[in-house]
Amino acid sequence: MDSACHIYISALIWAPRDSTLWNIYGNRYPRTAAVESGWSKSWPLVHATCWGHAKRVNSVAFSPDGKCVASGSRDGTVRIWDAEMGRLIGTALEGDGYEISYVIFSPDGKRVASASVDWTIRIWDAETGHLIGGSLEGHDECVDAVVFSPDGKRIVSGAADKTIRIWDVKTGNLLGVPLECHYDVAYSVIKGCISISADGKWGASGLSDDFVRIWDVEMGNAIGQLLRKYHHDLTCKALSPDGKQIASSSWSGTIQLWGADSRTLIETLIQENENKVTSVAFSPDGDRLLYGSTDGALRIWDAKSSGHPIGTSLVGQKEYVASVATSHDGTRVVWGSGA
């Protein structure tokens, strides 16, 4: 005797023809209702869209467990979303109403740090949405990048005042003296262009003078630099999870991979279109490089062997991709824009 159906027949009707669900059950129930036209060949790549910000989204970040997404916007709010459903969790986190330039979760996922154009950094309780302590103040211009140390005890920030500062998360005090990014030209830290190595010993920062600088986190002094092959168009950078590669992107549409130890150029990835690269991130295993462009599309490249594109472009935005982040298990990606 045939057993009862173990799936919802209504779900099978709408299942894409290339899906696992259809391939397993499609021929078993031939007499069910069917979609005659307009059916999809595969599931949509965009899982959910989070709506709520009144202005452009400048920065997005996954929580370490992948369950939440934090976003910061020009509307002056930080919002935390359910990564599965795309729904807002709680209410918007509001400081003084100034534009939020960057957001990031702490390594334990309990806190969210936000950088703002009012020259400050704020730390929020990710569960309650309450502000923890006071604002971290010291920069003299817009704070464009902020990152937690791997142990979560320190925060590193970079700003348009041409300095990188290291803060004690518990006390909010500045540690040491600010690291002067450069001394002879008025270039600033590029938005989001600060990374800390997995061991927490060194960091890398991208500057609008087309240099990526390497510096000692503990001592706060520069220990090396990477000179780019083109001039005055650095847009963003990313550090591979193993700390061995640095990817830097440009307005010219190219992405360069550098050896972090050797300080030498490994490879240059060139797009086949004229779109500008606006954001870049490594997958958690370091095998893939994801980047967003001015056409609102997200593309994936092989960062290890071929240096070639993987699959097709992911198109989910109407405006340029301002920020991109991957979940820690590498199965999902989130990107933000002004769409």
Residue 113 and residue 33 share a domain: no
Indicate if 172 and 29 belong to the same structural domain.
Answer: no
Same domain? 254 vs 330: yes
| Residues in the chain, pLDDT under 70 | 1-11, 14, 17-22, 31, 33-46, 181-193, 207-211, 220, 224-234, 271-273, 306-307, 316-318, 338-339
Do 216 and 320 share a structural domain? yes
Residues 120 and 229 in one domain: yes
Average pLDDT over the chain reads: 80
The answer to whether residue 49 sits within a structural domain is: no
Claim to verify: residue 81 and residue 196 sit in the same structural domain: yes
CATH code, 63? 2.130.10.10
Structural domains in the chain (count) = 2
Q: Is residue 52 a part of any domain in this protein?
A: no
pLDDT in tens, 154-201: 999 988 888 888 999 999 999 888 877 654 333 344 455 677 888 878
Q: Are residues 30 and 92 in the same domain?
A: no
Q: Could you tell me the residue range of the domain that residue 237 belongs to?
A: 57-336
**288 vs 81: CA distance, rounded Å:** 25
Domain identity same for 156 and 279: yes
Q: Which helix (H) or strand (E) holds 112?
A: strand 111-116
Element (H, E) at 11: helix 9-14
Same domain, 33 and 134: no
Same domain flag for 36 and 97: no
